Chain A
């Protein structure tokens, strides 16, 4: 009892102190200022409780299909986050819609890790702070909750009593396209897929804040149950070849489409007549459908390394080009791993001595081989006698599906004079690089299988 009295007394003393200081004229934020102080918490609007959200609002999603149109509104359960300004300045806190509808108040708190002088532009992102398109399950509700990224910038002009005012209203821009794929075979029957891999040059997997660096790669949509209707949130596809690869039971289906653009902020419904890929086939039987498939030591082509192992062989290469343009009979396959780093003379022999594959010949890639390996994987380029800088993300993302990749921080040898293509973290391959020491520098070696 005595303890309770002391606690109560302390509380009221503290409350009284708080009221006193709140009404005082000290300079801790009670007057208007143009500095946002590091580590202080500011309210962007009122944070007084409005009671718990009703159950219906919690379940409601911000995206709804309305007669073929995707409507976007705010739901109470959602959160809007602050995008950090740079590595040395992070914001914390978040905003929440206070009602439902197209234009609503967003309330919450914000604090900064460093002092800022007003006015400041604060970038906002919704529905998550980590901008990531991986892990989709193919439903509109999943996109609404996790992948319906929208951004805007709020201009903060004044701070008074730890309250910040922003220019109003702000409009959030949708940062991706939403595509509904309806998958059918040529007889117009539903093809129910357990996974759908979407591959294309420029397809964004995630965006590394705060500078907006984009990581490219395939998006794999994995529905909870096999279905022929798959929604996907996709960003970055512009005038690119799109490859859809589906798992249907134990079979694999594919469809390729050139010159595809998906506009951010747009919704498109596409019916795709997808067809089955034949496995296993010999190297002489490969078609464009097999690009990205693996080659076993036995010279057969499989959907992946585990399928090769199940057939008693070991995956050694991945089909990257089908055609005859690069001194080959049927195409080219790239080794799954490097042969190390060597000078050019040693590189030639290292590549040629890669573990033998029936029906093919290993060699150090010529500059022409490198070009066709990248073109075959859909980088959108065409062959040139004087190649410049081209995209290699399509090749690397395909290599990623078999658990490997090219080094993105250095040179790879070609056997053409002393050209040594440079692969950069940004996804560019500079084919103009030339070793002026006459092949005496050590660069990465990746063998190519001509068949």
Chain B
């Protein structure tokens, strides 16, 4: 019984990898947007 429980995660990993490969890239996930830095007026310190 203990042996069966120990092996189970190994099977899960294989399954997870296969499922991942079957996903459709275009449909899921995060789209991240970067913003430009706002240019402020140049200064002279003297």
Q: How many A-B residue pairs have CB under 8 A?
A: 163
Q: Which B residues are in CB contact (< 8 Å) with A92?
A: none
Q: Is the CB of A163 within 8 A of B20?
A: yes
Q: Which B residues are in CB contact (< 8 Å) with A162?
A: 16, 19-20
Q: Is the CB of A72 within 8 A of B34?
A: yes
Q: Which B residues are in CB contact (< 8 Å) with A161?
A: 19
A271 interfacial by beta-carbon distance below 8 Å:
yes
Q: A44-B30, A74-B32, A107-B29 are in contact. Are A267 and B20 (CB under 8 A)?
A: no
**Which one of A172-180, A282-290, A442-450 contacts B?**
A172-180
B4 interfacial by beta-carbon distance below 8 Å:
no
* Dominant SS among interface residues on chain A: strand
Which residue in B29, B33, B36 is a CB contact (below 8 Å) of A71? B36
Q: Which B residues are in CB contact (< 8 Å) with A339?
A: none
A432 interfacial by beta-carbon distance below 8 Å:
no
A19 interfacial by beta-carbon distance below 8 Å:
yes
B18 → A minimal CB distance (Å): 5
Interchain residue pairs with CB less than 8 A apart (11): A18-B17, A28-B15, A45-B23, A46-B20, A48-B20, A95-B30, A105-B31, A107-B25, A163-B19, A166-B29, A166-B30
Could you list which residues of chain A lie within 8 angstroms of chain B, going by C-beta atoms?
Answer: 14-15, 17-19, 21-22, 28-30, 41, 43-48, 62-63, 68-74, 80, 95, 97-98, 102-107, 124, 150, 152, 154, 161-163, 165-166, 168-174, 178, 186, 255, 257, 263, 265-273
Given contacts A21-B12, A98-B25, 9 further A-B contacts (CB under 8 A): A30-B19, A43-B23, A44-B30, A68-B39, A95-B30, A97-B32, A103-B32, A124-B32, A172-B32
